[in-house]
Amino acid sequence: MRVITGSARGRRLETLEGESVRPTADRIKEAVFSIIQFETEGRVFLDLFAGSGQMGIEALSRGAKEAYFVDSAKKSVETVKRNLKATKLEDNARVFNADFRSFLAAHSEKFDIVFLDPPYKTGMLQEALELSAQAVKETGVIIAENPMDEEILSNYGDFTLDRQYRYGKIKISTFRNSRFCS
């Protein structure tokens, strides 16, 4: 796993081992950042199920003003911190060892981009989409990664499914405020 482009381009990132960990594949990461290529610079990015932190690190490398990394696993949080230090991006990062529900309940800041990649088929994605719709700016975007056979709704709060992209057995869904959907 590596940083694709930007200030930390080419830097290798540490990953976690084990069956409970499923890092976003580089080709999917590239696709996500292609989708939001003109929306990242100067924005605040939330990597809600951070794992190794690769999505938030990619956002920072591409010019995001700030990135929040949230994960309930202590090992994940430690890995995120090591990866931030290795990429020299820790100054614009905020790392939280917290459950997604408690983090969103405790933080009133609104985010420009929210990336969701929770454990598959646990119901967490649907709940995180609902809660994230309240934590993103009305001009922002929520991006969800999930398997093709996991159902999600087309509306969460004021956010409506804008587009879906398929990559093998994975789909990426973008949600935007219904006032700004194309």
Is-contact 146 120, C-beta < 8 A? yes
Packing angle between helix 54-61 and helix 26-35, nearest 10 degrees?
50
The CATH class given to the 26-177 domain equals alpha beta
DSSP SS3 for 160: strand
How many other C-beta atoms lie within 10 A of the C-beta of residue 1? 16
Query: pTM of the entire structure?
Result: 0.93
pLDDT over 80 (residue 88): yes
Is-contact 33 175, C-beta < 8 A? no
Residue listed under structure tokens 């084990």: 18
Please report which confidence band the pLDDT of residue 153 belongs to, taking 50, 70 and 90 as the band edges.
very high
DSSP letters spanning 77-118: HHHHHHHHHHHT-GGGEEEEES-HHHHHHH----EEEEEE-P
How does pLDDT run across 17-59, given as a tens digit for each residue? 755 566 677 788 899 999 999 999 999 999 999 999 999 999 9
Identify the CA nearest to 105 among candidates 83, 127, 78: 127
Domain boundaries, the chain: 26-177
Query: What integer pLDDT is reported at residue 182 of this predicted model?
Result: 56
